[in-house]
Amino acid sequence: MTESEVYTNKELIVMIGPIASGKSYHVNKHYVRSHQIISESHIQNGMSFEQVPQVEDMKYAIMAVMLRAHMIRGLPIVDDEANLTIESLLILKRFAVEYDYESKGVIIDTPIEVCVKRIEIMLDRELNEDSYKRIEEEHERFREIKQILETKDQNILDDVVIVSYGGK
């Protein structure tokens, strides 16, 4: 890849999926060498603060600054977070339009049972009822977003692909 090719790939890849579905796995497998990665969890870990409302606001402000900085340079970008609200997708679409980027959604469609098992392995314990209920709610939000994005005339993202890690 030549230097001039690096600055002409103005695409924003938007990862969409629930916790432990394989979003970061997909990013690491397909984009880590070619795209700038913006990750909510990496910013959170780098901030070394507990999750409180003030830190949440700061985290999203940092993500927006990073997104704009990479877009000003015309670099290809991956937004590696859940993106389970229409509002978050519309904000990303607004950035893409403002900087003349193509927006591509990558929906990671992994069964809840697989996600739960991955979380339990990471935590080295079974999930309690409250935790499982939160994951069920997140999967419900995911199904709603997926259904909207599968509609051909959705006008949120320019292109959408669906990938599954762990079943179906």
pLDDT tens figures, 68-119: 999 999 999 999 999 999 999 999 999 999 999 999 999 999 999 999 999 9
Q: Residue 7 — very low, low, confident or very high, per pLDDT cuts 50/70/90? A: low
Say how far apart CA 21 and CA 28 lie, in whole Å.
14
As a whole number of angstroms, the distance between CA 14 and CA 81 comes to 8
Residue 8 has pLDDT above 90, yes or no: no
Contact predicate 155/100, CB 8 Å: no
Residue 79: strand pairing partners: 14, 38
Spatial contact of 76 and 9, defined as CB atoms under 8 Å apart: yes
Whole-model pTM over 0.85: yes
- Torsion, Cα 79 80 81 87, to 10 degrees, reads 20
pLDDT score of 4 more than 50: no
Q: Strand, helix or coil at 108?
A: strand
Average pLDDT rounded to a whole number, residues 6-20: 87
Q: Which two tokens stand for residue 56?
A: 């949440």
- 5-14, 20-29, 42-51, 107-116: which range is least confident on average? 42-51
**With contact defined as beta carbons under 8 Å apart, do 26 and 156 qualify?**
no
Domains of the chain: 3-162 (3.40.50.300)
Alpha helices (H) along 8-110: 23-30, 40-47, 53-72, 86-98
